[in-house]
Amino acid sequence: MNDQQQYGPQYGPGTPQGQPAYQPAGQPGYPPYAAQYGPWGGAPGGPFHQPPRRRKRLPLLIGSLGLAAVVVAGSLAWGIDQHEAANSAKLAQVVTPASVAAQVSPGLVDVNTVLGYEGARAAGTGIVLTSDGEILTNHHVIEGATQISVTDIGNGRTYQAGVVGYDSAHDIAVLKLKDASGLQTAKTGDSSKVAVGDQVVGIGNAGGVGGQPSYAAGQVTALNQAITATDEGGSDPENLTGLIATDANIQAGDSGGPLANASGEVIGVDTAGSGGNNGGNGAPGQTAYTPGQPGFGDGSGQGDGGFGDGSGNGGFGDGSGQGNGGFGQGDGGQSDGQGSGQGSAQGFAVPINQALSIVDQIEAGNGSSDVHIGETPMLGISVADTGSGEGAVVNDVLAGGKAAAAGLSAGDVITEVDGHQIDSPDALAGTLNQHHPGDKVSVTWTGQDGQQHQQTIELTTGPVR
């Protein structure tokens, strides 16, 4: 494994919409978030109603594809281009990023969330696993959400979604659409067969604008990578390991979308990116994939804009000159595209084998310290570290909630839940993570008067943590 890399401002989560923040110049972005939620409904250092600080990855704030928005330019190519080889009359298929996107896109969804209790909104991407609406996405795409709606690319319909479960440590979540049937599913590949140099296409809801997904092509640049994703301020770090690295320019809103191979198989789930502001365009007859994204490689060349190999070939070519791209399947063909770009973007994806293993665990209902099954429970408080390593201090209490009715108030220090010692906000969150809305837990705290109190409190449904 390579030394761990740290990615701060370049990463972002789902996309609170319409304000500039942490992304390549010239791209619309999203506002920084308030303090991160405490144990299911509160924010350390701030009132419970604030949305959580989103990690700079990739839902809208790519960065989570938690990813910052990019406006999609132009239309996508649908269908497979064919050309006649120069040395024979045989027709051969030219595989282009556009054709890969066309193959994969009907099995995708746009994920839109309402965050916390202030009505902020975010957006990302999801991958359809079953025809009745099981969706794979990033945890950071839905983090902080109190409402989730999903629009299927294949049929254009919008559905309400519930949370089946999520793994915050590996940035994976599973949703289930309500009353969905007959959905087109995505084809998954085998990420154990991925190799450095493989051509790939990242596809998703870049910019959170919805509609036909955008796409960006590149190559696999490394395997088994470790990164540290942080929030906008460079704090609240989260370590992610075992990732596929690519020079495809993964953008905000792409989070939760597929990294696909040249056969249109999903080999990874886009989760983070540190894009540059590189211009470029590529697919034959198409405009740029998204403004500010690189073309298909290091160099420039007029040609088919496909997955060319070698100097002078468009698309993924590494040189300049006229050529014909396309995975080496013949010469000739359409040459409307300019394969150009700096190739300085860097994106990361969770290998699909790892993601599907987590999906299996969630479907089986096997919760753990990392994996939460079902909706998120909350006490209805915000908490902070005491600084002494003993307990979690209450900052705010939701008016009219169960915790308020039990007598908890700002300044109290929670020391125990269901017999588990609480020495930090994380310890409180970890304990509550083993429960579900409707469960009753025994909470022990020390009041500001120094007296110890104990009450049984029913957990309610809170924002996804």
- Tell me the whole-structure pTM to 2 decimals: 0.69
CA–CA gap between residue 22 and residue 13 (Å, rounded): 11
Assess if residue 434 is contained within a domain: yes
Per DSSP bridges, beta strands 5-7 and 214-229 are parallel
CA distances from 456 to 12, 408, 448 (A): 38, 11, 20
CA–CA gap between residue 443 and residue 457 (Å, rounded): 7
The one-letter amino acid code at 293 reads Q
Asked if 139 and 372 touch (Cβ cutoff 8 Å), the reply is: no
What's 118's domain CATH number? Answer: 2.40.10.120
Asked if 128 and 184 touch (Cβ cutoff 8 Å), the reply is: yes
Same domain, 342 and 401: no
Which of 374, 393, 421 is the last residue before a domain boundary? 374
Same domain, 57 and 197: yes
Q: Please give the angle made by the CA atoms of 163, 242 and 370, to the nearest 5 degrees.
A: 35
Asked if 133 and 157 touch (Cβ cutoff 8 Å), the reply is: no
Same domain, 457 and 410: yes
Same domain, 186 and 308: yes
Same domain, 421 and 348: no
What's 448's domain CATH number? Answer: 2.30.42.10
CA–CA gap between residue 80 and residue 77 (Å, rounded): 8
The one-letter amino acid code at 336 reads D
Average pLDDT of the residues of the chain: 72
Which of 356, 374, 392 is the last residue before a domain boundary? 374
Per DSSP bridges, beta strands 258-261 and 238-246 are unpaired
Which of 324, 354, 374 is the last residue before a domain boundary? 374
- Give the pLDDT of residue 230: 63
Asked if 289 and 297 touch (Cβ cutoff 8 Å), the reply is: no
Give me the domain span that covers residue 264: 1-16+51-374
Same domain, 226 and 340: yes
Assess if residue 193 is contained within a domain: yes
Exposed, middle or buried: residue 90 (CB in 10 Å: 0-12, 13-18, 19+)?
Answer: exposed
Same domain, 349 and 450: no
Number of domains in the chain: 2
Same domain, 344 and 384: no
Same domain, 83 and 140: yes
Residue 167, SS3 per DSSP: strand
Assess if residue 43 is contained within a domain: no
Assess if residue 26 is contained within a domain: no
In this prediction, the residues of the chain whose per-residue pLDDT falls under 50 are 1-92, 277-343
Same domain, 160 and 225: yes
Same domain, 100 and 181: yes
Report pLDDT digits (tens) over 333-366.
Answer: 333 333 333 446 789 999 999 999 999 999 999 9
Assess if residue 38 is contained within a domain: no
Assess if residue 40 is contained within a domain: no
Same domain, 131 and 151: yes
Assess if residue 41 is contained within a domain: no
Report pLDDT digits (tens) over 48-90.
Answer: 433 444 444 444 433 333 332 222 222 222 222 323 333 333 3
Assess if residue 56 is contained within a domain: yes
